[in-house]
Amino acid sequence: MSDFNLYDGNNSSNNISSNNNSNSYYDPQIAQQTQARQASKMISGTATFRKGGLFGARSEKNQAFRNTAELNSMELDDRKYYAAIGAFLLWGLGINFLLVKLFAKPGSLNIGVVCVVYIISAIVGIIVQMKAKSFVGAFIGYNLICVPLGLVLAAILPSYTSTVITSALIGTVLISALMMVAGFVFSSAFEKIGPALLVSLGVAIIADVILMLFFRQNVIILEYVFLVIFALYIGFDMSRAAHRPRTIRSAIDVAIDLYLDIINIFMRLLIILSDSKN
């Protein structure tokens, strides 16, 4: 984790630049954190695209979905089904961890470039995954999402200290575990809040973009709003898992949703904790 700490007291004087009227202080770490905030908006946007698509073509209440090949696939028992969800979730997170270890070095990746690659690949991956008739196609779509997202994380993490990253990781694990258990235990309660969560997420993203574009502001309270929304989404996605066909394809679908929820929680915690420290 120490590799992520960019502060260098010996070179701090290099951050001072001057113009004709006054001297101004430029902190590259804060500039990169601003880019990280923008990346988090993009990641939330792709999650919204995924969630919104599920309420249309992929809703369990949609009879067309019930008639797909998924229902003709081999059924798993509960233990194998939830084990498959966990395995696919760990696959995506494991790829992210590996890419971060390989590429998370200051200046090794251009945030703008990897963000463009991610948003294109993620949209394609979501479409491929949603339209795939087999678990193989769904798994390919999943990788089109998690691989470039791992590069995004590798590009932005060097702008945060190891303390902030560690705290965000711990917080993400605790929140995710708690909400998974809650979603499993209180399935009937969580399954009713899906439409409200989708509307809330859409409104929060619109407000966030407006503040950024027209007022050049990042309101920290919105980060808490996103944190709560994605935490509740974990419970909702776990409740949906209980009502899906017990197939490998369903396990991949659930894993993708949980994966995006967890990454968004981690991103928001990074912003909240770094803002608090600053």
For residue range 184-203, list pLDDT tens digits in order: 899 888 988 988 998 998 89
Look at residue 217 in the predicted model and tell me its pLDDT: 62
Helical residues (DSSP H) of 186-219, grouped into ranges: 187-190, 194-214
pTM: 0.81
Look at residue 181 in the predicted model and tell me its pLDDT: 94
What gap in Å lies between CA 126 and CA 115, rounded to an integer? 16
H or E segment and range at residue 72: none
- The CA angle 188-141-51, to the nearest 5 degrees, is 35
What gap in Å lies between CA 225 and CA 231, rounded to an integer? 10
What gap in Å lies between CA 174 and CA 176, rounded to an integer? 6
Give the start-end residues of each E strand in the chain: 16-18, 23-25
Closest-CA residue to 175 (of 88, 89, 268, 255): 268
Distance of CA 20 to the CA centre of its chain: 43
What gap in Å lies between CA 176 and CA 181, rounded to an integer? 9
Look at residue 124 in the predicted model and tell me its pLDDT: 94
Q: What count of Cα atoms within 13 Å lies in the side-chain half-sphere of residue 125?
A: 25
242, two tokens: 């209980």
Mean pLDDT per 10-residue interval, the chain, length 278 residues: 42 41 48 63 75 54 44 76 96 96 86 90 91 89 95 91 94 96 90 90 87 74 92 94 90 94 94 78
Distances (CA, A) of 204 to 32, 171, 223, 226: 23, 22, 9, 7
Contact 236/8 with Cβ under 8 angstroms?
no
What gap in Å lies between CA 260 and CA 51, rounded to an integer? 10
Contact 118/151 with Cβ under 8 angstroms?
yes
Contact 273/164 with Cβ under 8 angstroms?
yes
What DSSP character marks residue 2? G
35, two tokens: 């880019």
Look at residue 20 in the predicted model and tell me its pLDDT: 41
R_g (Cα) of the chain, nearest Å: 20
